[in-house]
Amino acid sequence: MSIQFHQTTKTFHLYNDNISYIMSVLENGHLGQLYYGKKIRDKEDFSYLVEKVPRPMASYVYSGDRTFSLEHIKQEYPVYGSTDYRHPAVEILQENGSRIMDFQYVSHTITGGKPELPGLPATYTESDDEAETLCITLKDVVTDIRLELLYTIFATGGIIARSARFTNDGEKAVHILNAMSLCLDLPDHDYVWMQLSGAWARERHIKNRILEPGIVAIDSMRGHSSHEHNPFMVLKRPSATEHQGPVIGFSLIYSGNYRIQAEVDTHDTTRVTVGINPTGFDWKLDCSETFQTPEAVMVYSEEGLNGMSQTFHNLYRSRLARGYWRDRPRPILNNNWEATYFDFTEDRLVEIASKAKECGVELFVLDDGWFGERSDDRSGLGDWFANTDRLPKGIPGLADRIEALGMKFGLWFEPEMVNKNSDLYRAHPDWILMTPERHISHGRHQYVLDFSRPEVVDCIYGMMKTILSEAKISYIKWDMNRSITECYSATLPSDRQGEVFHRFILGVYDLYDRLTKAFPHVLFESCASGGGRFDPGLLYYAPQGWASDDSDAIERLKIQYGTSMCYPISCIGSHVSVAPNHQVFRNTPLHTRANVAYFGTFGYELDLNKLSDEEIEEVKEQIVFMKEYRKILQFGTFYRLKSPFEGNETVWMVVSEDQKTALVGYYRVLNVVNAPYTRVQLQGLNPDLVYENLENGTEHYGDELMNLGLLTSDASCGEVVGDAKPCTDFDSRIYVLKAKEI
């Protein structure tokens, strides 16, 4: 790992064993992008990569020079309006109405490790030799705005983390209207754009398109990262596959409004920008004030989509997630929501928990309905104190009863919301986001608290701290069930209303930060009607997230497969729920529901008392299996083998760090008859080890399983006769492969 600066050519070269990132100071003082990709040797001069020729209709920076036009030069942090007509990385409105800026190189520093970003989640290092950080300082001399571009290259993997910081050293306030965390100009457009899109209950489905001249973008303007489009995008060469070929992944560590965009000009240059969505954004930067953008992460891989994903998994699992639970296998839980919804008593909860304990469950979670006057979704939000009609001794009393069973206890909150029918709203009706003299919209009969106001965050923190201090609580499910409308804060002046969306998210981060520091051993799980805020920003505070409100095993194949493009398996909340499923009303076998949920945090979303004796025995076996293999499942190396978006079968697998154990998940949606024999080529095994297939006792070398493949043929390959086990729709198997001692 190294960051080199060549003084004579003013060239920066960031490189490790995987990648090179090269840029230089251009003749006008701006930064030019020269190369990003597979590692190349360092040398003094890469200036030949700044290609300049006269072009018709171009505008030029220097009089008499018909070659230097910013429209046709690859740049690091471009500005619109001074010969570059493409979408910019930054736009700043000045007092005189101008938006032209001229950020020129001043200096740079190179340091070991990685600095924190105040108030924002970001990747981190635990020692200075894990990464190096380059900070390049540029200045606009007219406004005296100082721009610092931060680049961190990690020692291993094709990872570069980027952000930007603006400081007003001048005498007049300015307004930042656009401040991207990352801009990357690529020399061609021969890429397939891949995004993770969907909606409630079908989040993070993979969508592909070919890049063509024009603009393609994903974004959110909902106040959160959203169910619709995840803040993650991939550019892959058309020939790249899951296991080979060049791939670049882009991820934004942010939970609010964002935009990820690729603009292809008519000369085939591709400009990628990643950052806060500029629509509706207006940050007043007063004299001596600083604004820090969220962090964006780029990953380059020559090993295809799996190589890129594994790099993100390793980084986000161990250098974004933090705290006590970062490296610990997650407890198997039972959540009462789909078992009872709002209809429960304390004794009913203990009855459910008792059966769960009998089956081997380790954590019982009480979901919505325990607080205030909450008997449905129209009241109680904001009143974070127990409803003693349901819980006579409050949360401490219930927690004690659960702990007495030999289980841990967890609790649901929705801290950012309020119902009008609540004590909190009656005391502080001005604490919600609402625009003066305008209609106030609701979602799920609830309203959004103004988390841009410190006193609101302080109040919610006080109530949550009291509950967590008084009761034995080991887990918090943090929900958020509506998007933001009428985004206006009663306490900010008119020229700062464009800051509310971002200040709201900073308030959410502040509350998370205070609670996780005050209660470091509590496991936090993020949720937003399922996957509405499943993003890297929250992974910094909550090491796992409820991936989707859709718990149907077949729908989860696509959801969890898509999620794995960026996010580690240890953070994917996945449960076994009742059949017929409460979202799609599909009947799936109990073993398939578990076989999908194993590849995540694992738990149950049902009342186990309602299962048959035979099913209870199966549940007990599932829990024994998960306890034996959960460390591998949650922290092993994950490979995608067959996509649910491309056929009737889905196959994925996880391999232990020592390559001695592998678990292969095989899923078939619809049954087939007299079908061809099937096999799947595995990945990540040690070619020289002999693996026993515990399914049937056969033995195979690792190279055999990776090249010939694992046979997955079953009774569907022909006619079911004799004692052959018949297949069904929605069938699945887990193959356990263990290396034999030599």
Q: How far apart are CA 249 and CA 194, in angstroms?
A: 9
**Residue 327: active-site member:** no
**Residue 219: active-site member:** no
- Residue 437 gets the label, from left (phi > 0), alpha (psi -120 to 50) or beta, of left
Q: Tokens representing 677?
A: 């024999």
Whether 692 contacts 702, CB under 8 Å: no
Give the closest residue to 544 by CA, choosing from 410, 665, 664.
410
Q: How far apart are CA 333 and CA 574, in angstroms?
A: 10
Residue in the block written with tokens 């993770």? 196
Q: How far apart are CA 270 and CA 188, in angstroms?
A: 6
Q: Tokens representing 478?
A: 């943090």
- Residue 522 gets the label, from left (phi > 0), alpha (psi -120 to 50) or beta, of beta
DSSP letter string, 525-548: EE-BTTBTT-SHHHHTT-SEEE--
Q: Tokens representing 35?
A: 């190369």
Indicate the pairing of strand 649-655 with strand 637-642. antiparallel
Residue 125, amino acid: T
Q: How far apart are CA 262 and CA 239, in angstroms?
A: 20
Q: Tokens representing 13?
A: 């070269």
Which phi and psi angles does 592 have, rounded to 5°? -70, -40
Q: How far apart are CA 110 and CA 361, in angstroms?
A: 50
Choose the catalytic residue: 140, 383, 450, 549. 549
Residue in the block written with tokens 């509405």? 532
Q: How far apart are CA 431 and CA 453, in angstroms?
A: 8
Q: The sheet that has 523-526: what strands, in order across it? A: 572-573, 544-546, 523-526, 475-478, 408-413, 363-366, 333-335, 603-605, 576-577
Beta bridge partners of 261: 217, 273
Give the closest residue to 104 by CA, choosing from 66, 47, 61, 64.
61
Helix (H) or strand (E) holding 309: helix 304-319
Label each residue of 60-100 as H, E or C: CCCCCCCCCCHHHCCECCCECCCCCCCCCCEEEECCCCCCC
Choose the catalytic residue: 450, 479, 552, 607. 479
Residue in the block written with tokens 């070619």? 687
Q: How far apart are CA 319 and CA 80, in angstroms?
A: 35
DSSP-derived secondary structure letter, 279: T
DSSP letter string, 6-67: ETTTTEEEEE-SSEEEEEEE-TTS-EEEEEEEE-----S--GGGS-----TT---SSTT-SS
Q: How many residues does the chain have?
A: 742
Helical H segments across 602-686, by residue range: 613-635
Number of Cβ atoms within 10 Å of the Cβ of 596: 27
Give me the active site residues, please. Answer: 479, 549
